[in-house]
Amino acid sequence: MSVASGLAEVTDADFQAEVIGADLPVLVQFTADWCGPCRQLAPVLKDIAFEEGDRLKIVQLDVDRNPETTVAYGVLSTPTLMVFRDGEPVRSMVGARPKRRLLEELADVL
């Protein structure tokens, strides 16, 4: 668990169990410690995780420490937000965005 953001952190080792095998849709933030927009996005994701926790699981994956998953999903920049449903990526968004816009973009996958 990353203390800085308050969001659960997944790794190459547990990605399969935590994301691919999840019952709920999962929003994965591909992030990095050095990424300013990632830090801006963290409180937004924390709010959404609190409000939508019964419909959506939100986790973070550090791209520097987990290259296998990062490469497997073609993540080239941070933050990349990827929504997985039934083990498949169904939506991908790049860059920080305000909470309202993110909720609008997630409406059809929730």
Q: Look at residue 5 in the predicted model and tell me its pLDDT.
A: 54
Per-residue pLDDT, 109: 86
Q: Which residues of the chain have pLDDT under 70?
A: 1-6
Domain layout of the chain by residue ranges: 8-106
pTM (whole model) above 0.85: yes
Fold of 8-106: Glutaredoxin (3.40.30)
Q: What is the pLDDT of residue 103?
A: 96
Residue 1 has a pLDDT of: 35
Strand 8-10 with 88-94, pairing: unpaired
Q: What positions carry a catalytic annotation?
A: 35, 38
